[in-house]
Amino acid sequence: MIYREAGQFKTTYASDQQLFPILQDRVFVIGFLVFAFGVMPFIGTEYLFRAILVPFLILSLAAIGLNILVGYCGQVSLGTGAFMAVGAYAAYNLAIRVPDLNLIVVFLLSGVFSSLVGVLFGFPSLRIKGFYLAVATLAAQFFIDWLFARVKWFTNDSSSGSVSAPPLEIFGRVFDSPEEKYLLVLAFVCVFALIARNLTRGAIGRSWMATRDMDVAAEVIGIRPMAAKLSAFAVSSFFVGVAGALWAFVYLGSWEPLAFDVNRSFQLLFMIIIGGLGSILGSFLGAAFIVILPLVLNQLPRALGVSLSTEMVSHIEIMVFGALIVIFLIAEPRGLARLWAVGKEKLRLWPFPH
Amino acid sequence: MGSKLAPWLEVIIGGLMSGVLYSLVALGLVLIFKASGVFNFAQGAMVLFAALSLVRLMEKMPFILALAVTIAIMVALAWLIERLVLRPLVNQEGIVLFMATLGVAYFIDGLGQTIWGSDIYTLHVGMPKEPKILFESTFEGGILVSMEDVIAAILAAVMVAALALFFQKTSTGRALRAVADDHQAAQSIGIPLNRIWVIVWSVAGLVALVAGIIWGSKLGVQFSLQLVALKALPVVILGGFTSIPGAIIGGLIIGLGEKVSEVYLGPTLGGGIENWFAYVLALIFLLFRPEGLFGERHIDRV
């Protein structure tokens, strides 16, 4: 009864093509945003912001970026961690070498750098695809890991290889409390999610999806594969780069190249598989799942009265991850986002089954 | 000559030897890909799992028994993978299967370390540790060759020969090749797909075991064994996914290139380039020949 769209008539193209055509969705999303911006900063605890919400939001942003590439354009990438690293180090170098630059500009520019590197490593995708490409993106991962660890210029000649971000000062205001950091990240993620949503439902998103579904056929109907694939790489690594800069500046504060190793790439890939390939909402759901699951797995044995060593818990954690990946691929290849969509379908008919 | 040539030859031989070890892991990948079209990311985890099982079982029983039990475990693992992962995913796209093997890799990895522990174990299977100096009369100082590597190379050669015979001469091998060519056609003439998959994954498990024994006794059985297996990916890319000789030659090229570049380019670039050299080499190669050295040419149809 609640989720019924009968009587909602669309009389203009604009109203038919809006982001959330169903009234209930609009109300829900606006309510959610009001809650996230207006209520959450007052009721959240420091632990909640630091350990859950901030990493969740930043990883969601990176997952959206990866989802554009893998979920929408069908180019599997195992090099996401590297592109996050490019964003992080670009932001670091811009911030210390051009101190007067506004941090928001720094973040956006680091996305541009990451985007350039992404296009460079995206070139092989014009000739190879599938797992060949997946392995080729590993080349980006290992090369960039090495680059930031070995070339001293990037770390401003730091002796240990680890670097610290300058304070988060934007428009003369320093963002240092957990709530402020949360709001900053939230604002970024909301804007970028909106951009991603609109890109993916426009002409460019259509050309990505056509390329994903069958690239030869897409070429035949007049989609230029080169433009589609490279633009997917560019947009995706832009998002991932900004996420990397935020991860380094807001979440980590100080970091070393290991923060962006190949495990980060796998983690992000798992997020979009579990969340739902080719879905913006899925990126959020997957990120939430992967951020919260380790916390649950850590608490669960204690709650049940079983004591496990931390080592054991981490082994069990990767086992559960592995099993979940396989289970999701078999049972629901389109992930949590699909479950949500099915739930909405059911609600539409509720309480009658037909 | 002599004094200049000997270290150079040493680098080359060392490179070729480690190349043989890479191709051993790559072989497992190619086998599975040939017979089921699955790009098995879990091969590295299987190497670690096999080596861990063997080394922990050897604490409790004699070597031969431990070996037998480990083989049984690997076959059981193959059966489980076929049952729980491959069968439900049959007819899915290659990339979905690839991601499934990523999950399998994580699972096996966690399972192995949960059951067998995650310390570093030393594996002694009677491989000679002493390096040998050869051609002392020809070159000044001779050439230092690790006997362990030589034995590994011989083992790998025997293994490849055995696999080639198995593929060419036995009826099971013929069935395997038929499945590799066309799943549906093979099935329609009565070749049981499920059984073939179990066989292939078992064989890949055995290859993983041999690789695990050799690598394990060289480096110790520990988590980093899995990373060694990451080296096998550029090898198969270079050699072509479907070619057993490709895996061998790709391994030799990568091993050689890696050592030579580390010794002669490494100092100028800052060292540690072994980590990415193979990948970048494979990447550049792919730009010119996307199907690898010996891979089959791909024709796309709508």
What is the average pLDDT score of chain B? 80
Q: How much is the pLDDT for B2?
A: 47
Residue type, A36: A
Structure tokens at B74: 């690997």
Sorted by sequence, the CB contacts under 8 Å of residue B90 that are 6+ apart come out as B193
Q: What is the pLDDT of residue A246?
A: 94
**Cβ-contact A121, A79 below 8 angstroms:** yes
Does a structural domain hold residue A8? no
* Interface contact A142-B275, CB threshold 8 A: yes
Which pLDDT value is given to residue B142? 62
Select from B96, B98, B113 the Cβ nearest to the Cβ of A315.
B113
Q: Is residue B189 within 8 angstroms of chain A, CB to CB?
A: no
B81 versus A257: which is more confidently predicted? B81
B92, B108, B279 ranked by CB distance to A143: nearest: B279
How far apart, in whole angstroms, are the C-alpha atoms of residue A58 and residue B267?
A: 38
- B residues 213..242 contacting A (CB < 8 A): 230, 233-234, 237, 241
Residue A19 belongs to some domain of the structure? no
pLDDT for the residue A146: 86
Find chain B residues with C-beta within 8 A of A130's C-beta: 39, 94-95, 98
**Matching residue, tokens 């362990």:** B148
In this predicted model, which residue has the larger pLDDT, B16 or B145?
Answer: B16
Q: Does B149 touch chain A (CB under 8 A)?
A: no
**What pLDDT shows up at residue A281?**
92
Tell the residue number behind the tokens 């957990």, with chain if given: A178
Instruction: State the Cα angle at A193 between A85 and A82, rounded to 5°.
Output: 15
- Regarding an ipTM greater than 0.85, the answer is no
What pLDDT digit, counting tens, does each position of B43-59 carry? 888 988 998 898 888 88
- Least confident interval from A15-24, A142-151, A175-184, B3-12: B3-12
**Contact status, residue B53 vs residue B68, Cβ threshold 8 Å:** no
CA distances from B167 to B71, B189, B190 (A): 20, 19, 19
Question: Residue A254, Cβ neighbours under 10 Å: how many?
Answer: 11
Does the pLDDT at position A189 exceed 90?
yes
Q: Is residue A231 part of a domain?
A: yes
Q: Distance (Å, rounded) from C-alpha B155 to C-alpha B136?
A: 26
Distance of residue B80 Cα from the nearest chain A Cα, in angstroms: 13
In this predicted structure, what is the pLDDT of residue B3?
54
pLDDT band at A135 (very low <50, low <70, confident <90, very high): confident
pLDDT of residue A237: 95
Average pLDDT over residues A159-188: 84
**A91 is in which domain, residue-wise?**
40-349
CB contact under 8 A, B234 and A134: no
Q: What is the pLDDT of residues B120-136, one digit of tens each?
A: 777 776 666 666 666 66
Of the partner residues B98, B108, B269, the one whose CB lies closest to the CB of residue A134 = B98
Q: What is the CATH number of the domain that holds A73?
A: 1.10.3470
Residue A354 lies in a domain: no
Cis upstream peptide for A351 (omega within 30°): yes
Question: Among the listed ranges A61-70, A130-139, B206-215, which one has the minimum average pLDDT value?
Answer: A130-139
| H helices present in chain A, as ranges | 13-16, 23-34, 40-43, 46-47, 54-67, 80-97, 103-122, 131-150, 178-201, 203-213, 215-220, 225-246, 262-275, 280-303, 310-331, 335-349
pLDDT digits (tens, 9 = 90+) for B148-162: 777 877 887 888 788
Confidence at residue A1, expressed as pLDDT on a 0 to 100 scale: 60
Residue A138: which of B108, B233, B300 has the nearest Cβ?
B233
Structure tokens at A7: 């009587």
Give the integer Cα–Cα distance in Å for A65 and A97. Answer: 27
A146-150, A216-220, A307-311: which is most confident? A216-220
Fill in the DSSP letter of residue A155.
G
CB pairs under 8 A between A and B: 134
- pLDDT tens for each residue of B203-254: 888 888 888 888 888 777 777 777 777 778 888 888 877 777 888 888 888 8
At residue B301 the predicted structure's pLDDT band, cuts being 50, 70 and 90, is low
In this structure, how many other beta carbons lie within 10 angstroms of the beta carbon of residue A340? Answer: 16
Contact B103 A135 (CB under 8 A): no
Yes or no: say if B274 and B226 are a contact pair by the CB < 8 Å rule.
Answer: no
Contact across the interface for B237 and A136, Cβ inside 8 Å: yes
Query: How distant is the alpha carbon of residue A195 from its chain centre?
Result: 13
pLDDT score of B300: 67
Inter-chain CB proximity A146 and B105 less than 8 Å? no
pLDDT over threshold 50, residue A218: yes
d(CA B214, CA B128): 12
Does residue A10 lie in a domain region?
A: no
B contact residues 37-96, partner A, Cβ 8 Å cutoff: 39, 84-85, 88-89, 92, 94-96
Q: Do residue A142 and residue B282 have CB atoms under 8 angstroms apart?
A: no
If one counts the domains in chain A, the total is 1
Mutate to test the interface with A, among B99, B231, B242 (most CBs of A within 10 A): B99
User: CA-nearest residue of chain B to A133?
Assistant: B283
3-class DSSP state of A10: coil
What is the residue whose two structure tokens read 């030579």? B260
Task: Report the alpha-carbon distance of residue B148 to residue B219 in Å, rounded.
Answer: 11
Rg of the Cα atoms in chain B: 20
Is B106 in contact with A321 (Cβ distance < 8 A)? yes
pLDDT score at A282? 93
B279/A269 CB distance under 8 A: no
Q: Annotate A272-332 with DSSP letters as a single string.
A: HHHH-TT-HHHHHHHHHHHHHHHHHHHHHHHHTT----HHHHHHHHHHHHHHHHHHHHHH-
- Chain B residues within 8 A of A153 when measuring between CB atoms: none
The C-alpha atoms of residue A208 and residue A73 are separated, in whole angstroms, by: 5
Asked if residue A109 has pLDDT above 90, the reply is yes
Q: Please indicate if any CB of chain A lies within 8 Å of the CB of B109.
A: yes
Tell me the mean pLDDT in the region A167-171.
80
**Assigned domain for A31 exists:** no
| Domain assignment of residue A50, yes or no | yes
pLDDT tens figures, A252-275: 988 887 888 888 998 899 899 889
Partner A, chain B 114-133, Cβ-Cβ below 8 Å: 114, 118
- Please give the single-letter amino acid code of residue A99: P
Q: Is the pLDDT of residue A63 over 70?
A: yes
C-alpha distances in Å from residue B35, one per residue of B74, B231, B242: 18, 22, 9
**Residues in contact with B257: Cβ distance below 8 Å, sequence separation at least 6, in sequence order:** B15, B277, B278, B281
Taken as a whole, chain B contains a residue count of: 302
Mutate to test the interface with A, among B283, B297, B302 (most CBs of A within 10 A): B283
What is the per-residue pLDDT across A329-346, written as a single tens digit (0 to 9) for each? 888 888 889 998 888 888
Reference A218, options A235, A205, A234, A202; nearest CA is A205
For residue A124, list chain B residues with Cβ-Cβ distance below 8 A.
283, 286-287
In a domain, A256, yes or no: yes
The per-residue pLDDT for A112 is 96
Chain A: give the shortest CA distance to residue B55, in Å.
Answer: 19
In tens, the pLDDT along A232-254 reads: 999 999 999 999 999 999 999 88
CA–CA separation, B31 and B40 (whole Å):
10
**How confident is the model at residue B124, as a pLDDT?**
73
C-beta of residue A94 within 8 angstroms of C-beta of residue A101: yes
Q: Which pLDDT score is estimated for B1?
A: 43
Report whether B228 contacts B215 (CB < 8 A). Answer: yes
**pLDDT digits over B1-55, tens only?**
445 666 777 788 888 888 887 888 888 888 888 777 788 888 888 988 998 898 8
Entry field: residues in chain A: 354
